[in-house]
Structure 1
Amino acid sequence: MVEIFPDPVRKEWNKWELRGLVIVSLFVQISLIFSGNRRKYIAKRRIRIFIWCAYLLADWVATVALGLLVDRQGNSTSSSYSNKEYGDLTLMAFWAPFLLLHLGGPDTITAYALADNELWLRHLLGLVVQAAAAIYITLLAWEGTLLSFLTIPMLLCGIIKYGERTWVLMSANRDQFRDSVLKDKDPGPSYANFMEEFCLKEAEGYNVTAAQVEEGHSPGYEFENTAGTPSTLDPDARRILHIADYFFETLKFKRLFVDLILGFHPRDESQDFFEKQDCNTAFEVIEVELGFAYDVFYTKAPVIYTPLGLFSRLMTSCITLTVLLTFATSIGVKSHKHQLIDVVVTYILLIGAMLLEAYAVRSLILSDWANLWFSHNSSKIPLFVGRLVSSIQSIEKGKRWSNSIYHYSLLDFCLNQKSSGFHKVSRFIPLHNKLYNLWEKLGSFRQLKHVSVSPELKAFIFKHFREKSTDTELDLKMLFTCRGTVSLQSHKSYGVFKWAVDVEFDHSILIWHIATDLCYNLNKTKRGRHSDPDSSEQECDHHMIFSKKLADYMLYILVMCPFMLPIGIGIIRFRDTCAEAMVFFEERSITSKLEAYEMLGQVNTKVFPSTVKGDRSKSVLFEACKLAASLNEIGDPRKMWRMVADVWVEILGYAASQCRGFDHAQQLEKGGELLTHVWLLMAHLGITEHFKINEGHGRVKLAVT
């Protein structure tokens, strides 16, 4: 029999296997607690991949290590077992509670994606099984020594941590979260009793009517009053924090994330506030609200920021510190009862657990939840504590989202694919469809460009929706059901471009994207020949840049996040359009981008493309060329780009309002989407179908005369 691994190698593996797994488990926990919350404001794919690997590895390593401990403790009575070969099992049994701590996970990440919250029952079963395994290990290794007794409080800490994670996953589950934000059941006044009394009075000869009585409701929030209260935050940040908390918690705007309806009083208060604000304040409030939503769905915040949660955090920190000090004074590094390497590993686990607790406390103090609590209770906090917290908060101001978007250009993608060596080889060597599709997918990722969202773009978007929400001649329902019609009508161009917006939504995105790309690059080339643009040209440049950014961003949503858009055949249209563009470039031997844009701009589209091509291919390339030609016929670039920019904002708003709240919540773990911010902004301005406008507060009483 041939042995792949020699006996000495296997002995060394057995000796270091468990120790290595325990150290790796601690390292993964440290990585998660440092990076888990950073994905909220970093949209780079590399950090998401790193966190995804660490998140999956964390549970796997800790579970395997616990299983190995159970196996070794069970075999410790065997005559073939050797402490010298496998390590000191008495001390190793003390590691079981730390593995439970690791399974509980850090405070900064409990779920990688919303789907993890749906698996809370699996984690509950894991809690029972793994806690039973840790207790079993402790009982097998029990010797009545101080070390055995130190295991008990650490077991309690591990069970608390794992229980917190399971409870948070259950609370963030879609059904549980929906139930938690629903109002109490309201049967209303007893209709049967009312009618009995009504009929009785009427039988007695009285003239009885049902008089309507308007019920009062709580007054609106005094937003300005928050700036005058003492706190560790500056007045503007404190005011924004209070406003966001009021909208998210008190007015229950968090219901939108599970597609529930709000009453008209929250709409009126929100609309009245946001219509009076500038762009910066509005988007800052929305950022804080979405930060609260992220914490609710992906972290332990719903448990930690409660009296019971704070008490358990204080208890686990004190227990860990006490056990560390007791272990250091009673056993020490030079103990003759235990192997030196196992004592060192135990110290690493204890110090690592303490550092994790310290970092968790630091994160707790820096969070918006803590700032909100300090703001409400600043008068009860001792002065030195307030100064200490202020100094810690001044070191690092928390970011709430990436403030960036991805760009994706269809024509750039086609040109890059055409020039790639893989595409050239595929023309001569038949390749499997799956392999070619995989290469296209990788090409899509390479094509993505990450750019920041400028304050000017935010201001343009905010101004657009604020003006529409205050326009008394417009039906607000029109604003979240149209995708360019209102803007074209306002620019008196609906008749000319009706065909480009009265099509399926993904169809509209593609033709407006390509047309915008063509007009942008051709216009940019012409502008490059001139210098010293006047103010009107600078204004035109702003709208041109806004249009280009939104066009590329919406194509990214269509290709990479199609679940955020209404159901359609967008991917089929995208692939067919890319195929036709690549054929067009190859037939004319086009290699440069400028040449490609110029050749497409010269295509005569007098006959509508679908008349010639039929409906078999879903390509919209030359429909987009026709749209670009029609746009250039406007003559005035400033007017044209203002109209195009307005159309794109309307397309953005339609996509945001049609996306389900749970899908918006899903994107929070990827650094957030501009689409999500626009969705919540529109909701605050009353431009959404999630308000039950006809909900009344009236009751009736008997009027007897």
Structure 2
Amino acid sequence: MEMGMVARWKLRWQTWDLRVVILVSLGLQILLIFVAPLRKRVSRAWITMPIWSAYLLADVMANFAVGLISNSQGMVENGKTMSIQCRHRSGPFADPTLLAFWAPFLLLHLGGPDTITAFSLADNELWLRHLLGLGFQCCAVGYAFIQSYPNHKFWIPTLLMFLVGVIKYSERTRALYLASSRIFQDSLLEDPDPGPNYAKFMDEYTSKNNAKLPTSIQMIPEPSKRNKTGTDEAEEGLSDLEVVQAAHKYYLTFRGLIADLIFSSAQRNESRDFFLKQTARDAFKIVEVELNFFYEILYTKAKVMQRKYLGYPLRVLSFILTCAALVLFYLIEKKKFHKFDIVVSYILLVGAIALDLIASLMILYSDWTAIALTKSDPPNWFIKKLQCLLNVKRKRWPETPKPQWFSHRKIMQIVRLRWSESLSQYNLINYCLHPRMGWWEKTIGFFGLTIMLDGIKYVNTEDFTSHLRDLIFAELKMKSDLANDLQKAKEIFSARGDWILKHEGHINLLDWINKIEFDESLILWHIATELCYYTNHSKDEKTSGNSYDDDTKLNRELSKVLSDYMLYLLIMQSPMLSSIAGIGKMRFRDTCAEAKKFFLGRKILKEDVNFRKIFTSSKCFSCCFSKYFFNEEKGQDKKLQEACESILKVNTEVSPVTVKGDRSKSVLFDACRLAKELQKLKRKQIWKIISKVWVELMSYAAGHCRVNAHMAQLSKGGQLLTLVWLLMAHLGLGDQFQIREGHARAKLIVSK
């Protein structure tokens, strides 16, 4: 009986497997076209993981369905499907002609939606695999078509859909090819530049000398193309359309950053002069849109679609062919086919048309189309009509407060974002103060889940505020204004806190940056910021009876946000700082070990947590899990303040390395000494200096992060570090400006 039940379920699966897989494949295409753009706006795992799963599953489902169709066609005899197991099976069995008609839709699904061609940068390097896949899948679809011919009633619509599928799959393969590192770099290289004809010039010079003519060479420098700078007076704010136009202009100039190309001083001066005149809001919006262009050429079909003679015409052709296939399918008599199979066919046709229409609307309302429609000056009547119809001058960033809860306003706010506009926070002392579960942590570590679960429990997010934006831009603008030559710009670019300390006159603090590695200074300043944050403020309130003024309070909050953000990058996003992080993780672990040991000794932290006690006090396992991973202990701020005060009470007259040696890389009490030095400053100066140091540390990290790491973050919600990196390049702060002059013109002067 059990064997009979197994046989029935097996028969049922063989009956419905192809239909289920095809419909799931279509569903994944619909899901991806809507959800895939969210990954550049949301940095949460709850959106990244489903997109990753759908991206991988979409190809698997389409390939699997093509295999099922090819296998089913192999059981065809005289145009009727033969059952190996049982000939009298009931239920809908697809006719071979319908199987052949469905096959091209799977080729179309393998082409994927316009909104995602690659999930990561590594996918672009696999373009050759997709090219081979295109060939094999075309052969499989062709095999299914030949097996059903000449009894194939739908051969014309099948052929039309086959052409559409080839176009779509070719678009994806070409998009991956153009976004691969070598091809992308080659596409940006200009024609070889041999320079002026030196040999001809010297031949002429030699002939003049041989003729005993008094000859000299006069060098005429290339005329400067630099615009008159307007740094003294900022321009009025740009409209949203002007922001998009400026972003596209500088995208065309600075896309070579992705390929590690170098730029001329003329390009630097032009960009620098423009950005020095902008407000912080406009400068950051330009950079956001520019990075959005980078994202779309690396991860979507945008570069293929923007081709004037291949992109738009092929898209129009594929839409016309799909509509024609739908009309022909409707006109052909279908009485002998099962109704459900006819419904599936209509769903595939309508789904293909709907996906094309949605993709077309996305293209029409994209920044690329807005740029294309505003290039012609003056525009003709047709362009004017299109501009009006598509509302290219619409407000792209309406000034509305961010909604706190999930609602229509929240959805619209997410749709308008160009990146996540959030900063992840990770705090060392807070991490060390959380109770430990010895055996539980060892179990987590055994399965390699420590980093993932630490990210859930200890990482939170803060919004990227206008105050933080203004602070960063003010600091970068001030430095750019001083960097008139390339040498000065490289000096500022290489500074990691020391330049601002010299500029502000705090020479006594330089040793905490100059004599140590970057990762050590980052952890040192992070702990020192935390100690000052929780002790200096409360101490001043007790002694003076009043709190900080607004500017000092703001600098205090921004310093903590940047401090926790930079530690998050060092520990949780280590690939971004891999070139400058050194032994940062080892130093972090040793520092945490010393902090935990210290807190245990001072009775601030319990040695272990009884998991059984938590479990018995919870109603269910999920409550226990939630209590351990998500619930913050009551009075956490008070506990942090107590911990910071305890650290500062330790006598640190003698350097820790003198007492402990240098085997342990902990910097806990070195940071305590730094905090005490900072607290010697005037109250208002402390947070002004700390905030400026953090901006410079972040700028150093942004400039020395590998380009691939920056581009990889674009598909994960983006990072503030990437915006700062590109903004620094536009302000002329970097080492990529290596072409000082153009071609000088030499002129032979023959004296009389």
Residue number among 585, 589, 605 corresponding to 1:571 in the alignment: 585
Distance 1:351 1:235 in 2: 42
Distance 1:497 1:399 in 2: 39
Residue 96 (structure 1) shift:
1.1
TM-score w.r.t. the length of structure 2 is 0.86
Aligned to 1:321: 323
Distance 2:662 2:742 in 1: 50
**Stretch of structure 1 that moved more, 115-124 or 588-597:** 588-597
Aligned to 1:246: 249
* Gaps in structure 1 of 5+ consecutive residues: 224-233
Aligned to 1:119: 126
Deviations 1:621-652 (CA, angstroms, capped at 9, x unpaired): 11111211221122x22101101111101101
Correspondence 1:152-191 to 2 at 5 A: 152-191=159-198
Aligned to 1:38: 38
Q: Number of paired residues?
A: 681
Which SS does the other structure have where 2:380 is aligned? helix
Distance 2:741 2:347 in 1: 60
Query: Does residue 1:405 correspond to 2:423, yes or no?
Result: yes
Distance 2:538 2:514 in 1: 28
Give yes or no for contact 1:257–1:660 (8 Å, CA) kept in 2. no
Deviations 1:62-107 (CA, angstroms, capped at 9, x unpaired): 1111111111112223854569664322212211111111111111
Which SS does the other structure have where 1:37 is aligned? helix
Distance 2:129 2:544 in 1: 65
Query: Does residue 1:205 correspond to 2:217, yes or no?
Result: no
Distance 1:392 1:330 in 2: 47
Distance 1:143 1:287 in 2: 56
| Distance change in 2, residues 1:691/1:612 (3 Å) | same
Aligned to 2:660: 613
Deviations 1:151-190 (CA, angstroms, capped at 9, x unpaired): 1111111111111111111111111111111121011223
Aligned to 1:48: 48
Aligned to 1:76: 76
| Distance change in 2, residues 1:266/1:3 (3 Å) | farther
Aligned to 1:231: none
Aligned to 1:227: none
Give yes or no for contact 2:226–2:266 (8 Å, CA) kept in 1. no
Query: Does residue 1:598 correspond to 2:597, yes or no?
Result: no
| Distance change in 2, residues 1:221/1:341 (3 Å) | farther
Which SS does the other structure have where 1:376 is aligned? coil
Distance 2:393 2:282 in 1: 25
Distance 2:32 2:360 in 1: 15
Give yes or no for contact 1:212–1:699 (8 Å, CA) kept in 2. yes
- 2:192 maps to a residue whose letter is K
Aligned to 2:374: 375
Which SS does the other structure have where 2:690 is aligned? helix
Residue 605 (structure 1) shift:
1.3
Aligned to 1:481: 494
Which SS does the other structure have where 2:337 is aligned? coil
**Stretch of structure 1 that moved more, 27-36 or 619-628:** 619-628
- 1:690 maps to a residue whose letter is Q
Query: Does residue 1:134 correspond to 2:141, yes or no?
Result: yes
- 1:372 maps to a residue whose letter is I
- 1:513 maps to a residue whose letter is H
Aligned to 1:20: 20
Distance 2:19 2:712 in 1: 37
**Stretch of structure 1 that moved more, 202-211 or 387-396:** 387-396
Correspondence 1:357-376 to 2 at 5 A: 357-376=356-375
Aligned to 1:228: none
Question: Over aligned residue pairs, what C-alpha RMSD do you find?
Answer: 2.7
Deviations 1:15-36 (CA, angstroms, capped at 9, x unpaired): 1111111111111111110011
Give yes or no for contact 1:519–1:628 (8 Å, CA) kept in 2. yes
TM-score w.r.t. the length of structure 1 is 0.91
Deviations 1:130-165 (CA, angstroms, capped at 9, x unpaired): 122112211112235541111111111111111111
| Distance change in 2, residues 1:498/1:557 (3 Å) | same
Residue 192 (structure 1) shift:
2.3
Aligned to 2:671: 624
Deviations 1:484-533 (CA, angstroms, capped at 9, x unpaired): 10111122222234234431111111111111112112245447769996
Residue 656 (structure 1) shift:
0.6
Aligned to 2:281: 280
Distance 2:740 2:335 in 1: 78
Residue 322 (structure 1) shift:
2.1
Give yes or no for contact 1:93–1:137 (8 Å, CA) kept in 2. yes
- 1:553 maps to a residue whose letter is Y
Give yes or no for contact 1:212–1:700 (8 Å, CA) kept in 2. yes
Distance 2:676 2:357 in 1: 63
* Gaps in structure 2 of 5+ consecutive residues: 231-236, 397-411, 606-638
Aligned to 2:719: 673
Residue 376 (structure 1) shift:
2.0
- 1:411 maps to a residue whose letter is I
Distance 2:467 2:218 in 1: 53
| Distance change in 2, residues 1:24/1:217 (3 Å) | farther
Aligned to 2:271: 270
- 2:471 maps to a residue whose letter is F
Give yes or no for contact 2:426–2:567 (8 Å, CA) kept in 1. yes
Distance 1:655 1:309 in 2: 39
| Distance change in 2, residues 1:528/1:58 (3 Å) | farther
- 2:649 maps to a residue whose letter is Q
Aligned to 2:596: 582
| Distance change in 2, residues 1:65/1:302 (3 Å) | same
Residue number among 708, 728, 732 corresponding to 1:686 in the alignment: 732
Residue 471 (structure 1) shift:
2.2
Query: Does residue 1:98 correspond to 2:105, yes or no?
Result: yes
Give yes or no for contact 2:534–2:640 (8 Å, CA) kept in 1. no
Residue 360 (structure 1) shift:
0.2
| Distance change in 2, residues 1:523/1:322 (3 Å) | farther
Residue 364 (structure 1) shift:
0.4
Aligned to 2:515: 502
Deviations 1:210-254 (CA, angstroms, capped at 9, x unpaired): 33233457676999xxxxxxxxxx9712211221121111xx211
- 1:483 maps to a residue whose letter is R
Residue number among 673, 696, 703 corresponding to 2:742 in the alignment: 696
Deviations 1:432-458 (CA, angstroms, capped at 9, x unpaired): 694286335412342111221111111
**Stretch of structure 1 that moved more, 447-456 or 1-10:** 1-10
Distance 1:278 1:493 in 2: 29
Aligned to 2:354: 355
| Distance change in 2, residues 1:633/1:215 (3 Å) | closer
Distance 1:222 1:519 in 2: 41
Aligned to 1:639: 685
